């Protein structure tokens, strides 16, 4: 009987260790981008859009799924950026959980006068010596366009707006989306990008002079 109990205990321990090992493997190819803590918020690079009257206000909150970032843009535009290396050969997929509480209905988002989005996540590849030479894909939560719509920014041909979510389908509710960044750079920029150099978040209303409220949570890269 004693031997049987020892064998049972060993089997249970082996199962636990194996489960931990499998869990570690499943998470080995994930790269979390933002922690959304007060400490992190104080360290992120803030970039105000030239000509904007005010900065977007970013604050930290928490719900049952963890920390999140809230963005309030009231005739304002500024982004939060992080320089970080992402190996797109290992983790090509970006995963974003976000929500738009107040959107920008009625604007023409693909024009200069209406080029505002309640929520954006930029992925950036350095392709030269200055920021102006960088290439970017601007994954957006649109208020007027359709999912999978994409168009070059009216301000620069080196940044492309790509709609992953729209308030026409999901308004004031959390939604999780995924995109293959490596394939999108090939399709949209004709570039085979092996490594990203940065990720940024922005909510902006400086062109429309309106107000938008959005939330971000669980932004990470994965292998699938």
Q: What is the pLDDT of residue 24?
A: 40
Q: Mean pLDDT throughout 127-155?
A: 90
Q: What is the pLDDT of residue 3?
A: 47
Domain check: are 122 and 26 in the same one? no
User: What mean pLDDT value characterizes the chain?
Assistant: 89
Domain check: are 1 and 78 in the same one? no
3-state SS, 45-89, equals EEEECCCCCCCCEEEEEEECCEEEEEEEEECCEEEEEEEEEEECC
Token pair 């932004």 in the structure block, residue: 219
Q: What is the pLDDT of residue 48?
A: 85
Domain check: are 26 and 52 in the same one? no
**pLDDT digit string (tens) for 111-137?**
999 999 999 999 999 987 666 679 999
Q: Mean pLDDT throughout 217-221?
A: 97
Domain check: are 26 and 55 in the same one? no
Q: Mean pLDDT throughout 216-223?
A: 97
Domain check: are 41 and 67 in the same one? yes
Domain check: are 10 and 76 in the same one? no
Domain check: are 207 and 108 in the same one? yes
Domain count, the chain: 2
Domain check: are 106 and 127 in the same one? yes
Radius of gyration of the chain (CA): 20
**pLDDT digit string (tens) for 23-62?**
443 455 899 999 999 999 999 989 888 888 899 999 999 9
Q: What is the pLDDT of residue 128?
A: 74
Domain check: are 66 and 2 in the same one? no
- C-alpha span between 100 and 24 (Å, rounded): 33
Q: What is the pLDDT of residue 192?
A: 97
- C-alpha span between 206 and 74 (Å, rounded): 8
Domain check: are 3 and 58 in the same one? no
| CA-to-CA separations, 168 to 31, 123, 164, 212, in angstroms, rounded | 30, 24, 12, 15
Q: Which domain holds residue 20?
A: 1-30
Query: Are 193 and 102 in contact, with CB atoms under 8 Å apart?
Result: no
In the predicted structure, residue 87 carries a pLDDT above the cut 70: yes
The CATH number linked to 74 is 2.60.120.260
Of all residues in the chain, what percent carry a pLDDT higher than 70? 86
What does pTM read for this prediction? 0.85
Q: What is the pLDDT of residue 147?
A: 97
Domain check: are 141 and 175 in the same one? yes
Q: What is the largest CA-CA distance in the chain?
A: 80
In the predicted structure, residue 12 carries a pLDDT above the cut 60: no
């Amino acid at each position: 009987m004693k031997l049987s109990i020892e064998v049972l205990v060993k089997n249970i321990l082996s199962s636990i260790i194996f489960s931990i090992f499998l869990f570690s493997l499943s998470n080995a190819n994930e790269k979390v981008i933002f922690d959304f803590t007060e400490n992190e918020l104080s360290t992120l690079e803030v970039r105000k859009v030239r000509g904007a009257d005010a900065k977007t206000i970013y604050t930290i909150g928490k719900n049952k799924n963890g920390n999140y970032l809230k963005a309030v843009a009231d005739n304002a535009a500024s982004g939060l950026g992080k320089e970080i290396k992402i190996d797109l050969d290992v983790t090509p997929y970006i995963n974003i959980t976000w929500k738009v509480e107040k959107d920008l209905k009625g604007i023409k988002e693909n024009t200069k006068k209406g080029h505002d989005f309640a929520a954006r996540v930029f992925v950036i590849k350095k392709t030269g010596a200055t920021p102006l030479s960088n290439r970017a894909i601007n994954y957006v939560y649109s208020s007027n366009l359709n999912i999978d719509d994409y168009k070059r920014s009216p301000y620069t041909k080196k940044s492309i707006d790509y709609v992953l979510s729209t308030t026409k389908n999901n308004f004031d509710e959390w939604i999780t989306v995924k995109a293959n960044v490596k394939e999108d750079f090939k399709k949209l920029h004709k570039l085979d990008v092996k490594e990203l150099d940065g990720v940024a978040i922005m909510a902006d209303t400086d062109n429309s002079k309106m107000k938008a409220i959005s939330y971000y949570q669980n932004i990470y890269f994965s292998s699938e």
